[in-house]
Every structure is written in C-alpha cells, then in structure tokens.
C-alpha cells in the first residue's frame, strides 16, 4: 500500500465514521428513531416501482420535480418563498457541503468555522485542498460576534461554515450573526453557509436563516432529510441559495449525481411531510424532558435546538460511554473533553438510557 501515489495529506489516514455496532439502543448518530409510516412506505414503494421501469434512462439531471417539492416544503416550514431554481439537492447534505467547497474553496483558499463543530467539515476541506481554520466558541458554545468578525478579517475565508443548530453542541446562532458575517465579507465575496441539518427541531422563536436569503446573495442554507424526515438511509440533502450559487454547484456536480430512485423516494417523503412534523414535535418534547432529567441529576446540559443533547462533565467520559455500551446503550464520545452526546430516541429508548446512566454513574464512573 505504501507504494501507492496517495496524496501526502491522505497518507496514513484511516476512513472515519461513527461505529456501527449491533446494540439494542442506538443513540449515537442523531437519527430519527421513528421509521417511516406504512403510508409513506407504500407511496415510496410505488414511486420506486415507477422509477425502476425507467432505469434504462439516466435520471433527470436537474431533479426538477424534487427541487420544486423541496421549495414548496421550505415555504410551508419556514414561510420563505423560493423558486425551485434556488434549491439544490444531492446525496445527503454531506455531498452538498463537499460541492460548496469544490466550487468556492480549493487550493490557496480558506474555510472558517467555529469550534467545537461538525467533525466532517475538516474532512471536506482536506478533500478539496481547502485550508481549514477554526475560531473558538465561548464556554457556553455560543459564537461571539466580535470574535467571529475578527476571525473573518484575519483569515479572509472564501467560505464560512456555521452549523445552526450546531453539532455536537445543539446551539443555534442568532440571525444577527449570519447577517453580520455576510455584510462584513462584501470585499472578499465570502460564501456564508448556515448548516441547518437540525433546523426543524429548533425551539419556538428561533428563526431559520432561510428568512435572510432575500438580499443576501452569498448566503447558503443547507438542510437534510436525514433527521426531521427520518430518511437518513435515503441520502438526500439540499441547499437553498441565490440562483447564482446554485449554478456554481451545478458546475461541480457529477453527471446525473442523484439517482432516479433517490429522487422518487425523496419526492414521496415530501408528500408525507405533515405527518412527519408530528413526530418532530414529539422528539422536541422528549429532548426537553431528557434535558430536564439530566440537569436534575446535577449534570450540565448544553441548550439544544436539535434532536440530541451534549451533557457532562465527566472526569472519565470514556468510562461512562463504555459503561452505557456494556448496558446496551450506544451514545457518542464526541465534542470537548468531559462531554458526551446522546441522540433523542423513543420514550422507551430514553428510559433505557436514563436507567443505564443512573447505573453507570452510581458505579462511580
């Protein structure tokens, strides 16, 4: 293997991903615990059958029906009216993010974010030969506006990535930060990306950055069907932006990147968005109950607008993580030292997690 002409920055690096273990309670990758309804299963199966009948042909390269459906969904969800040409779709928001860096990053360019944040961003940066830079968040994981503007002035990034709600902390940023990042980067024409993978779980009164798209032509808001839509296995992420930004992403996408089967199941899921929203409300309530319970045990919990909670602090977080795993509950050892992240599951999964954590902490971990 050492004979291969692999790029220097990839040499010796192992493929990364959260462990996929066969455990009774999986609360480690922020999935939605509720499987698709039988009504959606039937609708998606019929749509797939239809798509398969045409698989001798390449799919619609522009995914026109799907993008129109996503625009209509965003209008219902956030009240923001967008043309289908302002929406872009790809295989998960991971792929959208890679395309953003392919189009706007690259050698000699900088992508800036605020740490701790989503662990995949530096990988997209590495893979597109973009320099990766972070500025620290405050102790409570919020982003200080002045420090953010200073980091932008220092590093002159071509892309700024702000996850809101942020992974792994659950923290949402105020729109004022997004507006000011955009306005402060007029000279460098920086693309400001707000990653709203968890937006549907935001608490009442937390606005979506979609409302800033009009008048902010370098703003990109990314979303996914992996979380609120309970569709992680379908791999469908999307972005809303100006048509100019979408046109740049169209330049770097692979030919026919979104299969006809993916387009068909994603459009079927959109037809069931209303029933999925009831599950989202349930998960938000479950999150708030779990946060309250964790705090009642004396633990710290970061305020979360997402479907997961970052909690701590533990002197030996690995021992707590392992103790939970030994009891059949898989969570994630991620984020700043001393903290752990748990995804919000069904009420039964929450009960299994709280019982296991009580036992582990009682054991003195």
> Within 10 Å of residue 217's Cβ, how many Cβ atoms?
14
Structure tokens at 357: 């954590």
CB of 30 to ligand PMP, least distance (A): 5
* Cα end-to-end distance, the chain, whole Å: 41
Tally Cβ neighbours within 10 Å of residue 357. 24
With respect to ligand PMP, which residue has the nearer C-beta, 148 or 360?
148
The piece of 76-84, 122-130, 224-232, 333-341 that touches ligand PMP (CB under 6 A) is 224-232
Helices (H), the chain: 38-52, 64-78, 92-104, 121-127, 145-155, 175-184, 243-252, 260-270, 273-296, 317-326, 347-362
Choose the binding region for ligand PMP from 70-78, 90-98, 270-278, 316-324 (rule: CB under 6 A): 90-98
Q: Minimum distance between the CB of residue 201 and ligand PMP, rounded to whole angstroms? A: 12
Q: Binding to ligand PMP by residue 142, rule CB under 6 A?
A: no
Residue 234 to residue 226: CA distance in whole angstroms: 8
- What is the Cα–Cα distance from 231 to 254, expressed in whole angstroms? 23
Closest CB to ligand PMP belongs to which residue?
Answer: 92
Stretch of 92-100, 173-181, 319-327, 331-339 contacting ligand PMP, by CB under 6 A? 92-100
Strands 159-163 and 110-115 turn out to be parallel
How many degrees, rounded to 5, is the angle at CA 15 between CA 10 and CA 18?
A: 140
Q: How many residues bind ligand PMP (CB under 6 A)?
A: 13
Residue 354: in which H helix or E strand, if any?
A: helix 347-362
Q: Which is nearer to ligand PMP, 18 or 68 (CB)?
A: 18
Q: How far is the CB of 265 from ligand PMP (least distance, A)?
A: 14
Per CB under 6 A, contacts with ligand PMP among 21-60 are 30
Q: Torsion angle, CA of 342/236/99/80, rounded to 10 degrees?
A: -90
Member of 128, 208, 224, 262 binding ligand PMP (CB under 6 A): 224
Residues 182-201 as x/- pattern, contact with ligand PMP by CB under 6 A: -------------x-x----
Asked if 167 touches ligand PMP (CB under 6 A), the answer is yes
| Helix, strand or coil, per DSSP, at residue 88 | strand
Tokens at 152, concatenated: 């932008």
Is 94 among the residues that bind ligand PMP (CB under 6 A)? yes
Instruction: Kindly state the smallest distance separating residue 53's Cβ from ligand PMP, in Å.
Output: 28
Supply the minimum distance, in Å, between the C-beta of residue 4 and ligand PMP.
Answer: 28
232 binds ligand PMP, rule: CB under 6 A: yes
Of the residues 130, 185, 226, 304, which one makes contact with ligand PMP according to CB under 6 A: 226
Cα–Cα distances in Å, from 245 out to 82, 125, 219?
14, 18, 9
Q: Residue 92, interface with ligand PMP (CB under 6 A)?
A: yes
Binding site for ligand PMP (CB under 6 A): 30, 92-94, 118, 163, 167, 195, 197, 224, 226, 232, 237
């Amino acid at each position: 293997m050492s004979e291969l002409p692999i790029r220097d920055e990839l040499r010796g690096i192992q493929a990364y991903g959260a462990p996929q273990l066969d455990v009774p309670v999986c609360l480690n990758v922020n999935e939605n615990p509720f499987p698709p309804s039988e009504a959606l299963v039937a609708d998606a199966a019929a749509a797939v059958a239809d798509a398969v009948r045409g698989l001798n042909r390449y799919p619609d390269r522009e995914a026109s029906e799907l993008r129109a459906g996503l625009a209509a969904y965003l209008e219902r969800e956030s009240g923001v009216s967008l043309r289908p040409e302002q929406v872009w779709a790809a295989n998960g928001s991971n792929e959208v993010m890679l395309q953003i860096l392919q189009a706007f990053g690259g050698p000699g360019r900088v992508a800036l974010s605020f740490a701790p944040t989503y662990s995949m961003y530096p990988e997209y940066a590495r893979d597109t030969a973009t320099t990766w830079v972070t500025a620290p968040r405050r102790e409570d994981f919020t982003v200080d506006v002045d420090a953010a503007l200073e980091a932008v002035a220092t590093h002159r990034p071509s892309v700024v990535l702000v996850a809101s709600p942020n992974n792994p902390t659950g923290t949402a940023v105020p729109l004022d930060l997004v507006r000011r990042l955009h306005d402060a980067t007029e000279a460098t024409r920086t693309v400001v990306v707000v990653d709203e993978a968890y937006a549907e779980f935001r608490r009442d009164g937390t606005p979506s950055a979609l409302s800033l798209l009009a008048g902010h032509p370098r703003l990109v808001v990314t979303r996914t069907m992996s979380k609120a839509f309970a569709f992680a296995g379908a791999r469908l992420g999307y972005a809303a932006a100006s048509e100019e930004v979408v046109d740049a992403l169209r330049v770097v996408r692979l030919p026919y990147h979104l299969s006809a089967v993916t387009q068909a199941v994603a459009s079927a899921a959109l037809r069931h968005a209303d029933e999925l929203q009831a599950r989202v409300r349930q998960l938000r309530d479950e999150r708030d109950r779990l946060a309250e319970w964790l705090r009642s045990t004396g633990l710290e919990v970061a305020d979360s607008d997402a479907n997961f909670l970052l909690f701590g602090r533990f002197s030996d977080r690995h021992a707590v993580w392992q103790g939970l795993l030994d009891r059949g509950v898989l969570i994630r050892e991620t984020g700043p030292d001393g903290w752990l992240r748990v995804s919000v599951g069904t009420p039964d999964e929450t009960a299994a997690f709280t019982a296991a954590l009580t036992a582990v902490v009682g054991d003195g971990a």
